[in-house]
Homo-oligomer: A and B are copies of this chain.
Amino acid sequence: MIPLFGKWEVGFGNSTYFCSTTEPMSIDNSKHYFSSDFKLGILGGGQLGKMLLYETRKFDIHTVVMDASEDAPCKIACNEFVLGNLMDFDAVYNLGKQVDVLTIEIENVNVDALEKLEEEGIKVFPPTKALRIIQNKAQQKLFYVDKGIPTAEFHRFAYKSEIEDSIANGGMDFPFIWKAARFGYDGQGVKVVRKLEDLNGLPDGECIAEELIDFKNELAVIVARSVSGEVKTYPVVEMEFHPEANQVEYVICPARIDTKVAQKAQEIALLVADKIKHVGLLAVELFQTQDDKILVNEVAPRPHNSGHYSIEASYTNQFEQHIRAILDLPMGNTRSKVAGIMVNLVGAEGYTGDVVYENMTDILKLEGVTPHIYGKKHTRPFRKMGHVTIVNADVDEARKIAQQVKETIKVISK
């Protein structure tokens, strides 16, 4: 593949350009992947991995998945399943030694083991340098500042107690967002702090206190960057969050925003992917401020909830694109065939136990509706149990149907 510099595609808000940072694996490596003895390792066996496995099955790529749970959604459809703790050095290292390329579906993994594997010639994507920065939200924020990437103001603290001191000394005002530096997930490790008492009960580890942004929209851009440095962005999506659970309720593609704002969002997402020298998918969550500034909120170095719509709506879905990127295959078309909206299926409040999906028949009657059930047998309030994609030629029509879906389906227990 000959890198082209500065190529810019327009239309449907996707862009592509090249900036080679890593040596291509070979001239034509592709034939070695399909129905061969090539092995792809995946750390994590949750729903993201499950959807990644649809693509490895489609291409008949041999997979080895590691997860700590016997009930992991990935246990079915991988070629080999290894029970292991993703934070355990030996478990990750030993898995990596069995495979040709190693990737992740969750960022909370033992990076020391990944670094050792990289040194020993195992191809690890995302690269561990990128993963180290992303794993720690304080590091992530410092990286943005260092690289001139716009992001919300913040203070970094080694302990929660330092926040209280800083407030006492007038170094900080309410309100702000407290974020644990590590292991935040699905709204865990994030809290809006409006008064001192809101800090009660929060873990006392490394954290940041971030300016509360009065945003017009929360947006996301998924960037796909291959080993050879081919880069493509998906269209900008618009997100609506659940007020309490801080989980995405609707992801709308394309975002109903000004094209200038959309282009700015994509340029900033590309800048992050470039500066971090990423390989694979990078999901960049952004704020559109009231005065149309774009600020980077945080990034995820893997397939992302904000890209699930792509399975039904895009020419190349995010999971296939991740496989293409880390195997140094040509990047697929990131444009959309139709508008797509994703509704998360989270466990209803007040229900804990064996899951029941109520009123599925009613939503399956609606136009362009596809439920995805992650395969978790046990539901609890706000647990991500699945998602529903609504596709339609008209985004406003899709939004209406999405609302009906949300008001109809219930994730409850027996």
Chain A residues close to B by CB (< 8 Å):
1, 28-31, 33-36, 50, 53-54, 57-60, 76-79, 315-316, 320, 324, 329-330, 332-333, 337-338, 355-361, 364-365, 367-368, 370-377, 391, 393
A79 to B403, CA, bound (A): 33
List the B residue with the shortest CB-CB distance to A329: B364
Main secondary structure of the interface of A (DSSP, over half): loop
Question: Complex formed: what's the CA distance from A331 to B79 in Å?
Answer: 33
A375 surroundings in chain B (CB, below 8 A)? 35, 57, 60
Q: Which of B57, B320, B377 contacts A35 (CB 8 A)?
A: B377
**What CA separation (Å) do A337 and B34 show in the bound complex?**
28
Identify which of A28, A333, A360, A377 gathers the most chain B CB atoms within 10 Å of its CB: A360
Cα distance A358–B31 in the bound complex, in angstroms = 6
Q: Which residues of B contact A376 (CB under 8 A)?
A: 35
Q: How many copies does the complex hold?
A: 2
For residue A76, which residues in chain B have a CB less than 8 angstroms away from its CB?
A: 57, 76-79
Which residues does chain B contribute within 8 Å of A359, judged by CB atoms?
28, 31
Q: Which listed residue (B316, B333, B357) contacts A30, Cβ 8 A?
A: B357
- The winner among A50, A59, A79 for most chain B CB atoms within 10 A is A59
On whether the beta carbons of B31 and A1 are closer than 8 Å, the reply is no
In the bound complex, residues from chain B placing their C-beta under 8 Å from that of A77 are 53, 57, 76-77
Q: Are A34 and B357 in contact (CB under 8 A)?
A: yes
Give A324 to B371 CA distance when docked, in angstroms: 12
Rounded to whole Å, the gap between the CB of A300 and the closest CB of chain B is 22
Contacts of A315 in B (CB 8 A): 367-368, 391
Q: Known A60-B373, A60-B374, A373-B60; judge A368-B333 contact (CB<8 A).
A: yes
**Do B60 and A360 touch across chains, with their CB atoms under 8 A apart?**
no
Q: Considering the chains assembled together, what is the distance between the CA atoms of A355 and B31 in angstroms?
A: 10
A230 to chain B, nearest CB (A): 10
Closest to A372 in B: B58
| A329, B34: Cβ atoms closer than 8 Å | no
Residues from chain B with a CB closer than 8 A to the CB of A29 are: 361
Q: Is the CB of B367 within 8 A of A34?
A: no
Question: Hey, which chain B residues are within 8 Å of A59, CB to CB?
Answer: 371, 373
Taken together as a complex, chains A and B put the C-alpha atoms of A131 and B307 apart, in Å, by: 42
> In the complex the two chains form, is A364's CB within 8 Å of B324's CB?
yes
Determine the distance from Cα of A30 to Cα of B377 in the docked complex, in whole angstroms: 16
- By the criterion CB–CB under 8 Å, are B35 and A373 in contact? yes
Q: Is the CB of B391 within 8 A of A360?
A: no
Beta-carbon contact of B391 and A361 below 8 Å = no
Whether B31 lies near A356 (C-beta < 8 A) is: yes
Contacts of A57 in B (CB 8 A): 50, 53-54, 76-77, 375
